[in-house]
Structure 1
Amino acid sequence: MTTLDTTTPAQTPAKRSSLIWISRYGTLVAFLALIAFNMAVTPNFLSWQTLNVNLTQVATIVIVAVGMTLVIATGGIDLSVGSLMAISGALAPMIFLGTIYPIPSPALAVTLAFIVPVVVAGALGWFNGFLITRWSIQPIVATLVLFIAGRGIAQVMTNGNLQVFRNDAFQFIALGRVFGIPTQVIIMAVVVALAAFVIRRTGFGRQIIAVGGNEKAARLSGIPAVRVKRLVYVVSGALAGIAGLVVVARNSASDANLVGLGMELDAIAAVAVGGTLLTGGRAYVLGTLLGACVIQLVRYTLLANGVPDAAALVVKAGLIVAAVFIQQRAERG
Structure 2
Amino acid sequence: MADAPTIGRKGASFDVAAFFRRYAALTALIVLLAFNFAVTPNFASWQTLNVNLTQVATIVIVSVGMTLVIATGGIDLSVGSLMAISGALAPMIFLSSFGLSYPALGNALAFVAPVAIAGVFGLFNGWFITRFRVQPIVGTLVMFIAGRGIGQVLTNGNLQAFKNPTFQFIGLGRVFGVPCQVIIMLALVAAAAWTLRSTLFGRQILSVGGNERAARLSGVPVASVKRWVYAISGLCAGIAGLVVVSINSSSDANLVGLGMELDAIAAVAVGGTPFTGGQATVVGTLIGALLIQLVRYTLLANGVPDAAALVVKGAIIAGAVWSQQRGKST
**Fold conserved between structures, TM > 0.5:** yes
The alpha carbon displacement at 1:329 in A equals 1.3
Q: Map Cα deviations across residues 234-255 of structure 1 (whole Å, 9 max, x no partner).
A: 0000000000000000000001
Contact 2:99 2:107 in 1 (8 A): no
Contact 1:19 1:326 in 2 (8 A): no
Q: Which one of the candidate residues 138, 147, 150 is aligned to 2:147?
A: 150
Kindly tell me the number of residue pairs found equivalent between the two proteins.
Answer: 322
The alpha carbon displacement at 1:137 in A equals 0.7
Map of 2:253 onto structure 1 = 256
Q: Which one of the candidate residues 50, 69, 72 is aligned to 2:70?
A: 72
Counterparts of residues 1-333 of structure 1 (less than 5 Å): 13=10, 17-98=15-96, 104-333=101-330
Contact 1:174 1:250 in 2 (8 A): yes
CA distance in 1, matches of 2:131, 2:16: 42
- Which amino acid in structure 1 is aligned with residue 71 of structure 2? A
Map of 1:8 onto structure 2 = none
Contact 2:99 2:105 in 1 (8 A): no
Question: What SS does structure 2 have at the residue aligned with 1:13?
Answer: coil
Q: Map Cα deviations across residues 27-48 of structure 1 (whole Å, 9 max, x no partner).
A: 1100001101111111000111
Runs of 4 or more above 4 Å deviation: 14-19
Question: What SS does structure 2 have at the residue aligned with 1:140?
Answer: helix
CA distance in 2, matches of 1:81, 1:18: 37
The alpha carbon displacement at 1:131 in A equals 1.1
Q: 1:216 to 1:18 in 2, by over 3 A?
A: farther
Contact 2:81 2:147 in 1 (8 A): yes
Q: Map Cα deviations across residues 133-168 of structure 1 (whole Å, 9 max, x no partner).
A: 000010000101111111111111101100000000
- Which amino acid in structure 1 is aligned with residue 56 of structure 2? V
The alpha carbon displacement at 1:18 in A equals 4.4
Question: What SS does structure 1 have at the residue aligned with 2:111?
Answer: helix
RMSD value, Cα: 1.5
TM-score scaled by length of structure 2: 0.95
Question: What SS does structure 1 have at the residue aligned with 2:101?
Answer: coil
CA distance in 2, matches of 1:24, 1:97: 49
Q: 1:214 to 1:205 in 2, by over 3 A?
A: same
TM-score scaled by length of structure 1: 0.94
Contact 1:86 1:244 in 2 (8 A): yes
Contact 1:23 1:326 in 2 (8 A): yes
CA distance in 2, matches of 1:18, 1:325: 17
The alpha carbon displacement at 1:104 in A equals 2.1
Q: 1:238 to 1:291 in 2, by over 3 A?
A: same
The alpha carbon displacement at 1:19 in A equals 4.4
Which ranges in structure 1 are unaligned for 5 or more consecutive residues?
1-10
The alpha carbon displacement at 1:332 in A equals 1.8
CA distance in 2, matches of 1:22, 1:251: 39
CA distance in 1, matches of 2:173, 2:115: 20
CA distance in 1, matches of 2:305, 2:267: 21
CA distance in 2, matches of 1:205, 1:316: 30
Question: What SS does structure 1 have at the residue aligned with 2:257?
Answer: coil
- Name the % identity: 69
